[in-house]
């Protein structure tokens, strides 16, 4: 995907409102939740469940099915007064992860303009989409970022078939050729990528597996993504929507960091979760963490490891909490090479950890992490800095 600046900027919404009202509208951004998952996992079932559940929200659903026609129309279901209303929307290209930057952005914005205020947008991606391509768009596109924000990524998993999908070499992600890794383990499939990016994983179709099989599935998924909340369902019926699937604020909080405390797992070497405890940082050490992230995420180079000519790791998702010696806290959010460090929202809402203890944490989800010593590299970079 390219990030050319010469693309036509997305149409801005004409509000016709006063300057004061515009300021107000800017403050109320509409959340968007990406629903992904393998073919037939139960995404549509989940969307229908959400649309018919009582939540008092006006939800717009954008379906992103694969199509071979270039001007394929997207089905758009709008929940109006408890009724699902089907509409059709022109998106342009058959693959939203490639086209969302231009046509998709326009589609969402014209949707916003046409419908006025939605409370919520759900985007169902095709069973083959890589959500890693999709999520950063909601950060970097200014037109889009002014009206909506990415609330979270929900990945549906078919309990009966997920293990096969994870091990199926034909489900390999395009552009991830494992041939250069020799016998270094299983290939990385689309199923891996969808699980590694998820903020919430819904293990669905549990009526089709035994309890033992379900435990195996849970363990395997937990070994790939130790951060995501896991829910187990039949017919995609999650126990609750608020805070479980919707309104997660997965990208402006990092409460779930504490869940990923068990270090990294060796159950699934293809993609794993790594958790690095961090000390209280000085201002200079914060800068060192920033520099470390730039090296690791932008150059794919582990700073202590420069002599290694090939860094084969891939980082899909990264979150962190940094505690500074002046008492402030910062959060880190990263998807692929994009990351940001920002002030923790609601400072003081949570009691800070006692000084001297490990105060912060960085959690990394990615591929071939077990082959490198990320912890040593990061802590060394921190220690070397004043």
Ligand X SMILES: Nc1nc2c(ncn2[C@@H]2O[C@H](COP(=O)(O)OP(=O)(O)OP(=O)(O)O)[C@@H](O)[C@H]2O)c(=O)[nH]1
Q: How far is the CB of 36 from ligand X (least distance, A)?
A: 9
Q: Which of 196, 204, 223, 285 binds ligand X (CB under 6 A)?
A: 204
Q: Which of 31, 33, 36, 37 binds ligand X (CB under 6 A)?
A: 37
Q: Torsions phi, psi of 211, nearest 5?
A: -60, -40
Pick the piece of the chain touching Zn ion (CB under 5 A) from 49-57, 86-94, 97-105, 165-173.
97-105
Residue 43, contacted partner among ligand X, Zn ion, none, CB below 5-8 A by kind: ligand X
Structure tokens at 43: 């995404």
Residue 271, contacted partner among Zn ion, ligand X, none, CB below 5-8 A by kind: none
CA angle, residues 324, 328, 333, in degrees to nearest 5:
80
Q: How far is the CB of 158 from ligand X (least distance, A)?
A: 8
Residue 234, contacted partner among ligand X, Zn ion, none, CB below 5-8 A by kind: ligand X
Q: CA 39, CA 43: separation in Å to the nearest integer?
A: 9
Q: Torsions phi, psi of 143, nearest 5?
A: -60, -45
Using the rule CB under 5 A, is 98 a contact of Zn ion? yes
Using the rule CB under 5 A, is 173 a contact of Zn ion? no
E strands in the chain:
30-37, 59-63, 72-80, 83-92, 120-124, 148-158, 200-204, 229-232, 271-278, 314-323, 329-335, 338-343, 360-367
Q: Which of 25, 29, 40, 328 binds ligand X (CB under 6 A)?
A: 40
DSSP string, 295-356: IIIIS---GGGTT-S----EEEEEEEEEEBTTS-EEEEEEETTEEEEEEPSSTTSSPPPPTT
Using the rule CB under 6 A, is 39 a contact of ligand X? yes
Residue 42, contacted partner among ligand X, Zn ion, none, CB below 5-8 A by kind: ligand X
Residue among 258, 273, 278 nearest 376 (CA): 278
Pick the piece of the chain touching Zn ion (CB under 5 A) from 37-45, 87-95, 285-293, 364-372.
87-95
Structure tokens at 213: 């099989």
Using the rule CB under 6 A, is 41 a contact of ligand X? yes
Using the rule CB under 6 A, is 234 a contact of ligand X? yes
Q: How far is the CB of 135 from ligand X (least distance, A)?
A: 19
Q: Which residue has the tokens 């869940």?
A: 259
Using the rule CB under 5 A, is 72 a contact of Zn ion? no
Structure tokens at 293: 């992230």
Contact 279, 360 (CB under 8 A): yes
State which of positions 137-166 bind ligand X (CB under 6 A). Answer: 156
The runs of H, that is alpha helices, within 34-104 are 43-52, 96-99
Q: Which of 42, 92, 131, 366 binds ligand X (CB under 6 A)?
A: 42
Residue 236, contacted partner among Zn ion, ligand X, none, CB below 5-8 A by kind: ligand X
Beta-bridged to residue 206, according to DSSP, are: none
User: In this complex, which beta carbon is closest to ligand X, that of residue 237 or of residue 341?
Assistant: 237
Using the rule CB under 6 A, is 84 a contact of ligand X? no
Using the rule CB under 6 A, is 52 a contact of ligand X? no
Question: Applying CB under 6 A, what is the total number of residues that bind ligand X?
Answer: 17
Q: Which of 64, 236, 270, 377 binds ligand X (CB under 6 A)?
A: 236
Using the rule CB under 6 A, is 205 a contact of ligand X? yes
To the nearest 10°, the Cα dihedral for 113, 144, 88, 84?
-80
Residue among 94, 102, 88 nearest 128 (CA): 94
State which of positions 108-137 bind ligand X (CB under 6 A). Answer: 127
User: In this complex, which beta carbon is closest to ligand X, that of residue 201 or of residue 362?
Assistant: 201
Q: Which of 97, 276, 322, 364 binds Zn ion (CB under 5 A)?
A: 97
Residue among 41, 31, 98, 30 nearest 64 (CA): 98
Using the rule CB under 6 A, is 99 a contact of ligand X? no
Residue 232, contacted partner among ligand X, Zn ion, none, CB below 5-8 A by kind: none
Contact 361, 321 (CB under 8 A): yes
| Interface contacts to Zn ion, rule CB under 5 A | 95, 97-98
Binding interface with ligand X (CB under 6 A):
37, 39-45, 127, 156, 204-205, 207-208, 234-236
């Amino acid at each position: 995907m390219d990030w050319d600046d010469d693309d036509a900027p997305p149409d801005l919404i004409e509000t016709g409102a006063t300057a004061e009202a515009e300021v107000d509208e800017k403050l109320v951004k509409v959340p968007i939740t990406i629903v992904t998952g393998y073919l037939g996992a139960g995404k549509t079932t989940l969307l229908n469940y959400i649309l018919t559940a009582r939540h008092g929200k006006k939800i717009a659903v954008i379906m992103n099915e694969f199509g071979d026609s270039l001007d394929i129309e997207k089905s758009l279901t709008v929940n109006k007064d408890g009724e699902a209303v089907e509409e059709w929307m022109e998106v342009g290209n058959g693959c939203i992860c490639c086209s969302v930057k231009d046509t998709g952005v326009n589609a969402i914005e014209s949707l916003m303009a046409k419908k006025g205020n939605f409370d919520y947008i759900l985007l169902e991606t095709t069973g083959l989409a890589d959500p890693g391509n999709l999520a950063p768009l909601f950060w970097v596109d200014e037109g889009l970022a002014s009206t909506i924000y990415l609330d979270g990524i929900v990945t549906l998993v078919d309990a009966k078939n997920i293990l096969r999908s994870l091990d199926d070499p034909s489900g390999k992600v395009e552009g991830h050729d494992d041939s250069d890794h020799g016998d270094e383990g299983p290939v990385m499939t689309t199923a891996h990528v969808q699980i590694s990016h998820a903020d919430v994983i819904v293990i669905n179709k549990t009526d089709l597996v035994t309890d033992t099989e379900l435990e195996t599935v849970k363990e395997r998924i937990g070994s790939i993504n130790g951060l995501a909340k896991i829910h187990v369902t039949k017919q995609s019926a999650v126990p609750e929507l608020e805070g479980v699937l919707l309104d997660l604020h997965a990208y402006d909080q990092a409460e779930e960091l504490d869940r990923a405390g068990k270090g990294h797992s060796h159950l699934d070497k293809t993609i794993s979760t790594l958790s690095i405890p961090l000390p209280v940082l000085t201002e200079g050490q914060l800068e060192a963490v920033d520099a470390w992230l730039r090296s690791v995420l932008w150059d794919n180079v582990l700073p202590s490891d420069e002599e290694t000519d090939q860094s084969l790791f891939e980082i899909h998702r990264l979150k962190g909490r940094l505690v500074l010696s002046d008492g402030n806290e910062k959060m880190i959010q990263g998807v692929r090479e994009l990351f940001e460090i920002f002030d923790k929202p609601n400072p003081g809402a949570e009691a800070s950890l006692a000084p001297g203890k490990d105060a912060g944490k960085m959690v990394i989800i990615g591929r071939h992490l077990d082959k490198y010593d990320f912890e040593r590299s990061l802590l060394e970079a921190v220690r070397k800095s004043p």
